[in-house]
């Protein structure tokens, strides 16, 4: 389904919005902030939706009905998100969960919906497979490694047909007990396997290497931290980079510093946005540590401005699915929260911050960050969205238009478990 | 020194403030929010300043000059803070660090400055003393325990003279290696010692028991968590309660839940406000995890409204000192940040939140919290401050009035190390 | 199946065993250690096996065949473990997973195998049920709470028929996002529900309250720590106590101190033995932190000796299931490892340790603990086992007798998924 | 002072020792373990003592008297340790704390005592200096960076005179608040400074880069993890490697895996041995997590055997100082505990372990590690020590010979605070 132009047009700005925006302009009038530039930046910022987030995966405890039954219906869902928010113009496809049946059809649909195919995702933890136990690309059995490599190569081939330009590799490989696995051998096999995949990859593709300290394995994971990920990326070559999943860190990790250190080396591939309190909780981004998300965007903007690594070289994807309700509602919230953090970071007076750093006025540096963080940037985000063609209040529109009801009517009430 | 009425009056509202406030009113007009009530609540909210925060303690690496040389000058500093912010009408005195020399003089000064004496603080970690090593109130040597008890009783006596109504006990007691100390014996001695102090305490006083998982001892601390603290409090009697220091928790602790659980039992004494990334970092409150601070205030308001524990029964104190600059600037920031978190929590639509909880609309519950948290409440905080007699922008006023310079002129440039 | 007397008798001591034992006696001859007493203590130490550990639960990735198909076959498995190890004379039954079909038959079988029925376990996280989402005993919907209470009462009724004397309650109840659930209400409902169960319980039963900081919920758990657990236990009455699951703690928690603090209040119900590196990993006990297990047993022995809480009042149960192989092998390892930790703790020279604590010789206290911990106590454990009727090397015997093969022949190769 | 040959000879083996050793031989007779080779390996294993561990640093709360008053007396202390243990033939000097006054004299003394000069240590946290606040080698002020570089070059020059072959650099540099410091700039300046030092270093020297996640700074540290450390090392050149301090990791870090990953890249410089429960606790090695220490040695032996990185290329140093008693007693304990962990790791049947890994018998792999870990290897360690010329029981000898008393007589009772 699509939302009609009339429906979209039925939501319009109130005077309140204009007064709020005006007040913001006034507030920042003497802070060297170019409001039009910021609004353009927000408009340009597009976050990919993973195909896995739309369906009813294994973790999801309960869901509303009307779930997409195949990749086409998932594209349809993203199309709806894009109509409402103008914040997501691409899908990041998981294989084998969302294997397209008819490529031409899928691509045509994507074209219609003006959606691109972002980075492809392979899998390493198919429960039924032998390689679930002691690994995929790092399995000690060469036959299983070859199978895992072939799977990744197949994903690349599919991605080529779809027009994707990158592959994200996350490996569940690891072990549960000391002695069970040989750290160096496993790492060596993993490197070899990744090299085969890297070399198979078209020259205009990027390989994005994820890391994760634990889960599903609970003693060791082959690529547990950014250090290992970046070692592998550097050994593979320039097109391999490190992907940061916000939920994949040990307690107390300073993630914004990792982002800066990766940019220092021009080694940051992009993000899986989510949030976490205890482990890989897959909370909605910013729902637990919104200030951390803001600080990460401060680093991203700063690294781009200073010429460390260009903003455009970075990929953005949502990776949150601990919802027990309507995934489209969660995704609208996620898109909004990420954009708010970004917008606040855009309001940081970087010149003054640098001055404070140089004069060592730490309290004033704190003030500068707080001034931006405490600002209510929703009018700015809203303005950018509406200028781009989206609606004033996407969640309200989603509910008023009763989109979920219509999806249930179209697709049925029952949940559709994915293959995975 | 005091700021003159003229000086205070020289800072006045801009039209921007009025427009901002008006817009806030409009924004919450259909959310059953009584703005006047909120402004009154903010005005009433007063946070004590610890005498230890104003001087140049052992941890402080460097400081600007003009530091207070005794308790009177510390009162003077708090008086300045109160003139600017109207948010702090009391001091929480540390003994022996800030032992008054002349009680009458000190009390008179406090009267003049309209400052009260909040909870007294004893110490358990005097480096020079024998009991630094294996404990004070839980020391295996009865003579040392008696000395520590006597110290606490002396602090109570001093507090009585000052007009304080409570004693906060934090103990460094613990051990560094397995086997070094007997857990149960140490706990038993601690309980006995606390009972003596409790019984010595006037009947209208409260005993506030702090807890801390580690530091300075690094294997075990006698009162490491709220469970131990509350067990002791209950055994002592109704006037003993549990004090929450935001920096004294293990990684990943859900502190807002602890607050709720203490209120469930009417057992919350109050707070030491600070923030923490790794350990007991004594960061300024809200400088690392501002959303957590907001969630804590949500619990406090909710517990008060539901009749679990009354707001007025709770003590508020700042306990942050990882500043390397001007402590008055840090304290102004701290007072502001805490008030902002409180104000945002006041804006939560609790009726709607309860509805969402009952109808299990978790996404909508999230929205309700976010709506309040994302609001820029600074105009409200500012309005409350100015109505109470404070200035529009305390930090700006502090700088414009060159208060630090004047303090340096009065007191000298040199740092004055405290006894401690 | 049963192992015949002849088979058991076919494994006999070597001279090596006797020489090792003699050397241990010599080593401790001047340490006031009564070897015969220690051997008796080890013999008396019996650890319950949870019925859930024997089958093929949802978490188990792969297993060998021959799995028990019902409670009777699980009893049979425990009977085999007991024949080999003489360390486990009881089963802790999970309902509904291991609902007995014919009580008379099951009890007769248990009698034959000389097995008792230890604490019963109810469940709070049935995936299919509504109360999986926002709780069981703490659910805001009274009807669901009543259902959960009824389930627990049913488990008690079943336990009465089996001859059990206790109920362990663990609740998955909690929430995934701030705002989703009201902390105090949920806690209040939980307390009410537990009170109903407590009152339903026969007067010679004990209620054991487990706690867990996170998982499956990832923002808040209703009973997250020993503090909450013990608050509830005290409010319920003397027959309610706190159960410690070694895997249910925040990072860096000093678990041995919690054990001591619970014994200080005569409030320790017992243990679920396992180990953990990251979360509730359900590692085999002692496989990650064996020294911690030793220190816990030191506290248990010390608390018993000092009269804080009697050894016999404590329940012992294995709760580890992150095996991917033969559960009987894992359980034999677990029983052995726990017994080794206990035996080492029995070798600690408590008199000398107390002296060192009093004279503050911390290095010497460390030496005393290390002397016991570094001792190879396997000959002692083995001696106790064989005197009780077990075999010298249970794992070797298990393999030589090809017990798994025989179980596969009897029961088939296929895994039998439990209801749960 | 020196212990006389007669005194050393007065401690002799008992029959118990020979019987224990014989039993160990018997126990491992069919495990392809060459006992003589193992004893030789233990003999060759030498651990450096940091000059800082012998004196009375700022952290040390109380100490016995007789402390060394200068570097010569510290060498004397290490000489005593070496006479008793034969486990430490070198000193790792900290500058400026232990600046030699007369090089010729110090070298002659070292020659006499058969001690070498291990890696030199510079400092970055001199409290009095300006660069304590925002860094040394990463300070934004070039003049301060130059001063810090000059300090390191001076340390190298001193080391050259002493015959050292390496420099360990640990930097306290970092920040306490978001915004206070620019991550990438600080890292860049640090890299530049290290490059100058690296280039100044003689061609046969090694630069060892330490990392630490927090403390003394509590928001960010310039080199927080092995990833940053190894990035810098690789950029500097082949003579720069990563030093692992066991206390410098985030909660739950798998340190043995980091060791393996560094060896995978031939990038491991060596160790600072200590232990930690909460932060950088500087506990005695193995006093909290002895099994982790064993697993680390398993990786070291395995990496050497597999040709990943040679054992001889790795430096060993004790770095523990949370003692409140006699530092020589602590160091004897530390040397013993490290050697015990190493010896246990030498007993692992690596062939069988590899087989289990290949056949995926994880329970059996666990058994193999446990078999080695549970063995009481003290007779082996003792045999190696005595063959090398040390005493049977160093701690006992230290006490019987009343060495501390004699040191107090020689040097006085008073503590001698170091410069630092």
| Contact check, Cβ <8 Å, D177/B287 | yes
The label of the residue with tokens 């609790």 reads: B350
Nearest by CB: C277 against A62, A219, A281: A219
Q: Which residues of A touch C213 (CB under 8 A)?
A: 278
| Contact check, Cβ <8 Å, D279/B218 | yes
| Contact check, Cβ <8 Å, A376/B374 | yes
Q: What is the pLDDT of residue B203?
A: 97
| Contact check, Cβ <8 Å, D214/A252 | yes
Nearest by CB: B133 against D61, D176, D218: D61
Quote the CA–CA distance of A121 and A336 in Å, as a whole number: 24
What ipTM did this prediction achieve? 0.96
Q: Which residues of C touch A281 (CB under 8 A)?
A: 176, 218-219
- pLDDT band of B133, cuts 50, 70, 90: low
Q: What average pLDDT does chain D have? A: 92
In this predicted structure, the answer to whether residue C418 has a pLDDT above a threshold of 50 is: no
In this predicted structure, the answer to whether residue C241 has a pLDDT above a threshold of 80 is: yes
User: In the predicted model, what is the mean pLDDT of residues D141-160?
Assistant: 95
Q: What is the pLDDT of residue C133?
A: 63
The label of the residue with tokens 């009267």 reads: B111
For residue B18, give both structure tokens.
């009025």
Q: Which residues of D touch A254 (CB under 8 A)?
A: 213, 219-220, 224
Task: Tell if the pTM clears 0.95, that is, is over it.
Answer: yes
In this predicted structure, the answer to whether residue C32 has a pLDDT above a threshold of 80 is: no
Distance from CA of C186 to the nearest CA of D (A): 31
Q: Which residues of C touch A215 (CB under 8 A)?
A: 278-279
Residue C300: count other Cβ atoms within 10 Å of its Cβ.
23
D151: left (phi over 0), alpha (psi -120 to 50) or beta: alpha
- pLDDT band of A112, cuts 50, 70, 90: very high
For residue C303, give both structure tokens.
């608390």
Kindly identify which residue of chain C lies nearest to residue D24, measuring between CA atoms.
Answer: C20
Q: Which residues of A touch C133 (CB under 8 A)?
A: 61-62, 324
Smallest CA-to-CA distance from D253 within A255, C277, A186, B280 is with C277
Quote the CA–CA distance of B377 and B297 in Å, as a whole number: 15
- pLDDT band of A317, cuts 50, 70, 90: very high
In this predicted structure, the answer to whether residue D132 has a pLDDT above a threshold of 70 is: no
User: In the predicted model, what is the mean pLDDT of residues D42-54?
Assistant: 94
| Contact check, Cβ <8 Å, D333/C366 | yes
Cis peptide before B96 (omega within 30 of 0): yes
Distance from CA of A374 to the nearest CA of D (A): 15
Smallest CA-to-CA distance from C370 within C396, C344, C334, C351 is with C344
The label of the residue with tokens 């519950």 reads: B365
In this predicted structure, the answer to whether residue B129 has a pLDDT above a threshold of 60 is: no
Residues of D with CB under 8 A from a CB of B: 61-62, 127, 132-133, 176-178, 213-215, 218-219, 251, 276-279, 281, 283-284, 287-288, 322, 324
Nearest by CB: B324 against A290, A324, A362: A362
A193, A148 contact by CB (below 8 A)? yes
Q: What is the pLDDT of residues C356-368, one digit of tens each?
A: 999 888 889 999 9
Cis peptide before C405 (omega within 30 of 0): no
Q: Which residues of C touch D325 (CB under 8 A)?
A: 361-363
Q: Which long-range contacts (CB under 8 A, 24 or more apart) does D9-13 make?
A: D11/D391, D11/D392, D11/D393, D11/D396, D11/D397, D11/D400, D12/D392, D13/D386, D13/D392
Smallest CA-to-CA distance from D250 within A214, A261, A290, B320 is with A214
Kindly identify which residue of chain A lies nearest to residue C325, measuring between CA atoms.
Answer: A133
In this predicted structure, the answer to whether residue D310 has a pLDDT above a threshold of 80 is: yes
| Neighbouring chains to B with at least 3 Cβ pairs closer than 8 Å | A, C, D
Distance from CA of B47 to the nearest CA of A (A): 20
Smallest CA-to-CA distance from D312 within D270, D257, D255, D262 is with D270
User: In the predicted model, what is the mean pLDDT of residues B23-37?
Assistant: 88
Q: What is the pLDDT of residue B360?
A: 87
Q: Per-residue DSSP letters for B360-383?
A: T-HHHHHHHHHHHHHS--HHHHHH
Q: What is the pLDDT of residue C323?
A: 62
Higher pLDDT, C415 or B212: B212
Kindly identify which residue of chain A lies nearest to residue D257, measuring between CA atoms.
Answer: A183
| Contact check, Cβ <8 Å, B367/A277 | no
Nearest by CB: C289 against D20, D289, D395: D289
Smallest CA-to-CA distance from A1 within A73, A67, A69, A105 is with A73
Residues linked to residue D198 through DSSP beta bridges, in sequence order: none
Q: What is the pLDDT of residues A243-288, one digit of tens each?
A: 999 999 999 999 999 999 999 999 999 999 999 999 888 899 999 9
| Neighbouring chains to A with at least 3 Cβ pairs closer than 8 Å | B, C, D
In this predicted structure, the answer to whether residue C420 has a pLDDT above a threshold of 50 is: no
Quote the CA–CA distance of B305 and B302 in Å, as a whole number: 5
Q: What is the pLDDT of residues B196-241, one digit of tens each?
A: 999 999 999 999 999 999 998 999 999 999 999 999 999 999 999 9
In this predicted structure, the answer to whether residue C49 has a pLDDT above a threshold of 80 is: yes
Q: What is the 3-state secondary structure (H, E, C) of chain C?
A: CCCCHHHHHCCCCCHHHHHHHHHHHHHCCCCCCCHHHHHHHHHHCCCEEEHHHCCECCCCCCCCCCCCCCHHHHHHHHHHHHHHHCCCCEEECECCCCCCCCHHHHHHHHHHCCCEECCEECCCCCCCCCHHHHCCCCCCCHHHHHHHHHHHHHHHHHHHHHCCCEEEECCCCEECCCCCCCHHHHHHHHHHHHHHHHHHCCCCCEEEECCCCCCCCCCEECCCCHHHHHHHHHHHCCCEEEEEECCCCCCCCCHHHHHHHHHHCCCEEEEEECECCCCCCCECCCCCCHHHHHHHHHHHHHHHHCCCCCHHHCEEEECCCCCCCCHHHHHHHHHHHHHHHHHHHHCCCHHHHHHHHHHCCHHHHHHHHHHHHHCCCHHHHHHHHHHHCCCCCHHHHHHHCCHHHHHHHHHCCCCCECCC
Q: What is the pLDDT of residues A190-204, one digit of tens each?
A: 999 999 999 999 999
Distance from CA of A226 to the nearest CA of D (A): 7
Q: What is the pLDDT of residue C30?
A: 76
Q: What is the pLDDT of residue A377?
A: 98
User: In the predicted model, what is the mean pLDDT of residues D133-148?
Assistant: 89
Q: What is the DSSP letter of A56?
A: B
A341, A286 contact by CB (below 8 A)? yes
Reported residue count of chain D is: 420
In this predicted structure, the answer to whether residue D315 has a pLDDT above a threshold of 70 is: yes
Quote the CA–CA distance of A124 and A210 in Å, as a whole number: 12
| Contact check, Cβ <8 Å, C176/A133 | no
B222, B256 contact by CB (below 8 A)? no
In this predicted structure, the answer to whether residue B58 has a pLDDT above a threshold of 80 is: no
Residue D396: count other Cβ atoms within 10 Å of its Cβ.
12
Q: What is the pLDDT of residue C76?
A: 96
User: Helices (DSSP H) in A279-393: which residue ranges?
Assistant: 290-305, 327-346, 350-359, 362-374, 378-388
Q: What average pLDDT does chain A have? A: 92
User: In the predicted model, what is the mean pLDDT of residues B390-395?
Assistant: 95
Q: What average pLDDT does chain C have? A: 92
Which residues lie closer than 8 Å to B414 by C-beta, 6 or more apart? B65
Q: What is the DSSP letter of D94?
A: B
Quote the CA–CA distance of A296 and A299 in Å, as a whole number: 5
Distance from CA of C176 to the nearest CA of A (A): 8
In this predicted structure, the answer to whether residue B32 has a pLDDT above a threshold of 80 is: no
Q: Please give the interface size between A and C, counted as residue pairs whose CB atoms are below 8 Å apart.
A: 66
Residues of A with CB under 8 A from a CB of C: 61-62, 127, 132-133, 176-178, 213-215, 218-219, 251, 276-279, 281, 283-284, 287-288, 322, 324
Q: What angle do CA B246, B251, B255 make, to 5 degrees?
A: 40
Q: Which residues of C touch A132 (CB under 8 A)?
A: 61
Q: Which residues of D touch B279 (CB under 8 A)?
A: 214-215, 218, 278-279
Quote the CA–CA distance of B58 and B317 in Å, as a whole number: 20
User: In the predicted model, what is the mean pLDDT of residues C317-324?
Assistant: 77
- pLDDT band of D63, cuts 50, 70, 90: low
Quote the CA–CA distance of B388 and A28 in Å, as a whole number: 27
Q: What is the pLDDT of residues B289-339, one digit of tens each?
A: 999 999 999 999 999 999 999 999 999 999 976 666 789 999 999 999 999
Q: What is the DSSP letter of A281?
A: -
Cis peptide before B312 (omega within 30 of 0): no
Q: What is the pLDDT of residue A418?
A: 47
| Contact check, Cβ <8 Å, A363/B16 | no
Q: What is the pLDDT of residues A128-158, one digit of tens each?
A: 444 556 689 999 999 999 999 999 999 999 9
Q: What is the pLDDT of residue D282?
A: 83
Q: Please give the interface size between A and D, counted as residue pairs whose CB atoms are below 8 Å apart.
A: 146
Higher pLDDT, D190 or B415: D190
Q: What angle do CA B258, B262, B265 make, to 5 degrees?
A: 145
In this predicted structure, the answer to whether residue A419 has a pLDDT above a threshold of 60 is: no
Residue D45: count other Cβ atoms within 10 Å of its Cβ.
19
- pLDDT band of B419, cuts 50, 70, 90: very low
For residue C286, give both structure tokens.
């002692």
Quote the CA–CA distance of D123 and D167 in Å, as a whole number: 11
Distance from CA of C188 to the nearest CA of D (A): 33
User: In the predicted model, what is the mean pLDDT of residues A197-218?
Assistant: 96
Higher pLDDT, D415 or C372: C372
In this predicted structure, the answer to whether residue B193 has a pLDDT above a threshold of 70 is: yes
The label of the residue with tokens 């409350």 reads: B384
A365: left (phi over 0), alpha (psi -120 to 50) or beta: alpha
């Amino acid at each position: 389904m699509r939302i009609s132009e009339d429906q979209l047009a039925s939501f319009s700005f109130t005077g309140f919005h204009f007064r709020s925006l005006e007040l913001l302009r006034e507030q920042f009038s003497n802070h060297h902030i170019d409001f039009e530039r910021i609004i353009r930046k927000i408009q340009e910022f597009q976050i990919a939706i993973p195909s896995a987030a739309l369906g009813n995966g294994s973790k999801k405890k309960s869901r509303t009905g009307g779930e997409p039954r195949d990749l086409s219906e998932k594209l349809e869902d993203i199309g709806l998100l894009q109509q409402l928010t103008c914040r997501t113009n691409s899908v990041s496809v998981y294989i084998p969960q969302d294997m397209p049946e008819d490529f031409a059809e899928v691509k045509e649909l994507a074209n219609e919906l003006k959606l691109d195919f972002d980075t492809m995702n392979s899998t390493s933890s198919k429960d039924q497979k032998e390689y679930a136990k002691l690994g995929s690309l790092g399995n000690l059995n060469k036959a299983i490694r070859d199978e895992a490599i072939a799977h990744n190569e197949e994903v690349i081939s599919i991605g080529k047909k779809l027009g994707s330009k990158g592959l994200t590799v996350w490996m569940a490989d690891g072990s549960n007990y000391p002695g069970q696995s040989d750290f160096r051998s496993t790492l060596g096999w993993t490197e070899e396997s990744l090299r085969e995949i890297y070399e198979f990859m078209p020259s205009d593709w990027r390989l994005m290497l994820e890391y994760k300290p634990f889960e599903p394995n609970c003693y060791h994971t082959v690529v547990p931290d950014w250090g290992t990920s970046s070692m592998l990326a550097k050994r593979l070559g320039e097109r391999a980079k490190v992907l940061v999943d916000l939920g994949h860190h040990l307690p107390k990790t300073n993630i914004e510093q990792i982002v800066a250190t990766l940019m220092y080396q021009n080694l940051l591939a992009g993000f899986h946005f989510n949030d976490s309190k205890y482990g890989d909780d897959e909370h909605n981004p910013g729902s637990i540590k919104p200030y951390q998300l803001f600080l990460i965007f401060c680093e991203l903007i700063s690294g781009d401005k200073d010429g460390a690594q260009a903003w455009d070289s970075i990929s953005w994807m949502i990776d949150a699915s601990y919802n027990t309700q309507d995934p489209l509602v969660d995704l609208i919230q996620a898109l909004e929260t990420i954009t708010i953090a970004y917008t606040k970071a855009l309001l940081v007076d970087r010149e003054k911050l640098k001055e404070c750093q140089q004069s060592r006025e730490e309290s004033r540096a704190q003030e500068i960050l707080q001034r931006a963080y405490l600002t209510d940037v929703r009018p700015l985000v809203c303005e950018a969205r509406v200028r781009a063609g989206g609606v004033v209040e996407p969640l309200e529109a989603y509910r008023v238009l009763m989109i979920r009801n219509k999806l249930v009517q179209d697709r049925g009430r029952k949940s559709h478990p994915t293959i995975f």
